[in-house]
Amino acid sequence: MNLTDNEKREITKLIETDKPLPDKYRFLLFDDKREVELVWNGKTNEVTNIVLPFQIIEQVDEPRLDRKSKWDNTLFDTRGRQKLGWSNKLIWGDNKLILSSLKNGPIREEIEKNGGIKLIYIDPPFDVGADFSMNIEIGDDTFTKKPSVLEELAYRDTWGKGADSFIAMIYERLILMRDLLTDDGSIYVHCDWRLSGYIRLIMDEIFSNDCFQNEIAWCYREAINSRKRWNRKHDNILFYSKSKDSFIFNPDSVLEEHSEKTIAKYKYKDEKGYYRLMGRGIVGSPIQSARDVSPEWEITHPELVYRHYKREGTYAVDYWNIDIINQAAKERLDYPTQKPEALLERIIKASSNENDIVADFFCGSGTTLAVTEKLGRKWIGSDLGKFAIHTTRKRMIQIQRQLKEEGKDYRAFEILNLGKYERAHYIGVNMSLRKEERQKQLEQKEKDFIALILRAYKAEAVDNFKCFHGKKAGRIIAIGPINLPVTRLFVEEIILECREKRISRVDIIAFEFEMGLFPNIQEEAKSKGIDLALKYIPREVFDKRAVEKNQVVFYDVNYIEVKPHTKNNQIAIELMDFSVFYSQDSVDNAAASLGNGKSKIVVEGGKIIKVNKDKDGIITKEVLTKKWTDWIDYWSVDFNFESKREIVRIKDEVTGEMVEQWTGDYIFENEWQSFRTKNNRSLELITPFHECESGRHKVAVKVVDIFGNDTMKIIDVQVGG
């Protein structure tokens, strides 16, 4: 270090008085060779390395091992059916934990066996004023669904300190993405004028300026016009490769069309599709006549023809004229931030090959995944929003159906999350501790957890009970385990204590309930004089700000009623009833806030209600959810549930090696589904008959409501003799 005596004295004095050092000393004290660097408040190079096991909560169109067909030994059914091997992955959760678990966990091995991730495209939330509410159609009206508290808080974390907090969020995630890419892979980051300058510097720091390939301007037409400045009519897409020189790029796959003038000049095409400019003359000599030469004349006078070949299009440039999705477009889903498929098609064709893995960790409505599937690539997608995952699920099923109808092959996909493992991480259990130490820490954390839930539920603690933790408004409260679903045995113990101590009203609140537990257990409790309410704990409970501001809503468990139909060795399932208990705003609040001549739609007590205030201030109410089917967006059936155990790979406590372990749960195999789309609002309420073996079957029915929340019911069905 070349520090003067004065500089050394100044540094010592500043440290002794606990004052920050001027920026100049950072470069004098540390061997940092970067010429240009983006610095922000709280910058750190620390990157999470947490590894949480992925739980498979659903598989869509995965062929069963017990269902044989003449195509079982081939790669894919020529009629159009899912390809064997890799299953695409749609993951719900915090993408920082997802990225870290993909990078450092056992699933990395599966990714590497399939060639690794070759391309990442992300479109992070770069608009500080964005509104992520969703419009949901209810009859002829539209209800605006607010984002979940979890999504709002995540967005608040992203933008709480303006650009500083956004950059801190994206910086760590981009480092993890870089580490997941193959050496010949690349990444495209979508942004606009608000943050493109910051992100360019971040990308230079993480990937190096040598790996910068393009800043693409996506030009589009939009109705918004300004008289204060040049109209902003483009977004920026930054293209970086993992390696400086060796990366996938296929320019011939994204050629742009020739101009009409060029096409008129190069009139004919050969068998390869190349345009030809021809005229009379000697082969290889300049054209001596501008007169067109027909293919017939060429055949009879080959020695007199001058040929000049031109590709089917011109090489693409770094500004793309692709229109945004218009209101009438077939691909439009009315999802905020949805991008046109044409935009993603160009990126995916250019920077990946068939069967490569393409990833999008802010997948939104699933445009990247949809285009990837159509182009014969594999994919991984993730999003924090449950509604985003549900929207993508429906979209990918539609594409599966379309490809099957066209006789093309496609892949099954699975929906995953970090589930109970993510909850353990949230409450602060150190998963790297020894088993005994971890158990001790877990016990203390459980006490803290119970206190947190009671505070969020606005209840007070109680003592001297075996099963109960609190009370509220004359009801006794039992809180389910942190990392396990509430089982029948758990509820039976509650019922037993209720009878011993003459308790008649109980709330059981938990993250998960054993499949098929309700409504049977509630009927059983009712027969013994106990009013039993089951409520879900939302993930938002882990955010202190949400608890402090009373933003955490505990929803009642939804109710499903189904009827099985059997004949010979076949089962069909009919959906008979569905009940929900949500609230979002209230009729009284809406009435108080409305201006004369205005209306507002609210959710109160499981009903969607339109509140109108006429020009004289008279309030009227109209219930829009007139039928139970109005609440249903999607439902699906697994005709042989419990045929596929959920296996996770975790580190063995003794050997330190990765071992497979059954979670105690089963994977829902989505074999049939009916759902509403933007263009088709109808819903089938009975499945076709499904072939199965004689005997007792457990059939699982999953219903997803218009808010994207799912409920499942399991029934026993006897088939045949």
> What tens digit of pLDDT does each residue of 252-304 get?
899 887 777 766 665 555 555 555 554 444 444 444 444 455 566 556 655 54
- pLDDT at 480 exceeding the cut of 60: yes
Return the pLDDT at 504. 95
Rg (C-alpha) for the chain, rounded Å, is 30
Query: For the domain with range 55-254+316-423, which CATH number is right: 3.40.50.150, 3.40.50.12160, 3.30.450.20, 3.30.300.20?
Result: 3.40.50.150
Q: Which helix (DSSP H) or strand (DSSP E) does residue 369 occupy?
A: helix 367-374
Return the pLDDT at 73. 40
Return the higher-pLDDT residue of 165 and 510: 510
Average pLDDT, the chain: 82
Return the pLDDT at 102. 96
Return the pLDDT at 70. 35
Residue 121's pLDDT band (boundaries 50, 70, 90)? very high
What gap in Å lies between CA 435 and CA 273, rounded to an integer?
66
User: Best-predicted range by mean pLDDT among 221-225, 273-277, 283-287, 537-541?
Assistant: 537-541
For residue 706, which of 151, 139, 140, 138 has the smallest C-alpha distance?
138
Pairing of strands 378-383, 82-92: parallel
- pLDDT at 72 exceeding the cut of 60: no
Q: Is the Cβ–Cβ distance between 60 and 412 less than 8 Å?
A: yes
> What tens digit of pLDDT does each residue of 573-632 get?
999 999 887 666 678 878 888 889 888 888 877 788 889 899 888 999 888 888 889 889
- Tokens of residue 21, six digits: 């050092």
User: Which sequence spans correspond to the domains of the chain?
Assistant: 1-33, 55-254+316-423, 256-314, 428-481+484-556, 559-719
- Tokens of residue 675, six digits: 């759902």
What gap in Å lies between CA 162 and CA 536, rounded to an integer?
33
For residue 543, which of 430, 372, 621, 427 has the smallest C-alpha distance?
427
Q: Which helix (DSSP H) or strand (DSSP E) does residue 348 occupy?
A: helix 341-351
- Tokens of residue 247, six digits: 């990366």
Residue 547's pLDDT band (boundaries 50, 70, 90)? confident
- pLDDT at 184 exceeding the cut of 90: yes
Q: Is the Cβ–Cβ distance between 460 and 476 less than 8 Å?
A: no
What gap in Å lies between CA 391 and CA 412, rounded to an integer?
17
Return the pLDDT at 259. 73
- pLDDT at 76 exceeding the cut of 50: no
Reported in sequence order, the residue ranges of 445-569 that DSSP labels E, i.e. its strands, are: 460-461, 470-472, 475-479, 505-510, 531-536, 555-556, 559-567
What's the chain's length in residues? 721
What gap in Å lies between CA 528 and CA 718, rounded to an integer?
29
Sign of CA dihedral 418, 423, 424, 429: positive
- pLDDT at 698 exceeding the cut of 80: yes
CA–CA distances in Å: residue 366 to residues 62, 187, 337, 356, 399 = 20, 17, 11, 18, 11
Phi-psi region of 33 (alpha: psi -120 to 50; beta: other; left: phi over 0): alpha
Reported in sequence order, the residue ranges of 645-709 that DSSP labels E, i.e. its strands, are: 645-651, 658-666, 668-670, 672-675, 690-691, 695-705
Mean pLDDT value across residues 3-17? 84
Return the pLDDT at 511. 86
Of the chain, the percentage scoring pLDDT greater than 90 comes to 37
What gap in Å lies between CA 281 and CA 301, rounded to an integer?
10
Return the pLDDT at 81. 46
- pLDDT at 308 exceeding the cut of 70: no
Q: How many helices (H) and strands (E) does the chain have?
A: 18, 36
Using H for helix, E for strand and C for coil, what is the string for 194-224? CCHHHHHHHHHHHHCHHHEEEEEEEECCCCC
- pLDDT at 47 exceeding the cut of 60: yes
User: Best-predicted range by mean pLDDT among 71-75, 125-129, 680-684?
Assistant: 680-684
Return the higher-pLDDT residue of 130 and 674: 674
Domain covering 428-481+484-556 assigned CATH 3.40.1350 in the classification: yes
Residue 241's pLDDT band (boundaries 50, 70, 90)? very high
Return the pLDDT at 229. 85
Q: Around Cβ 665, how many Cβ atoms within 10 Å?
A: 20
Return the pLDDT at 282. 43
pTM metric for this prediction: 0.80
Mean pLDDT value across residues 231-246? 93
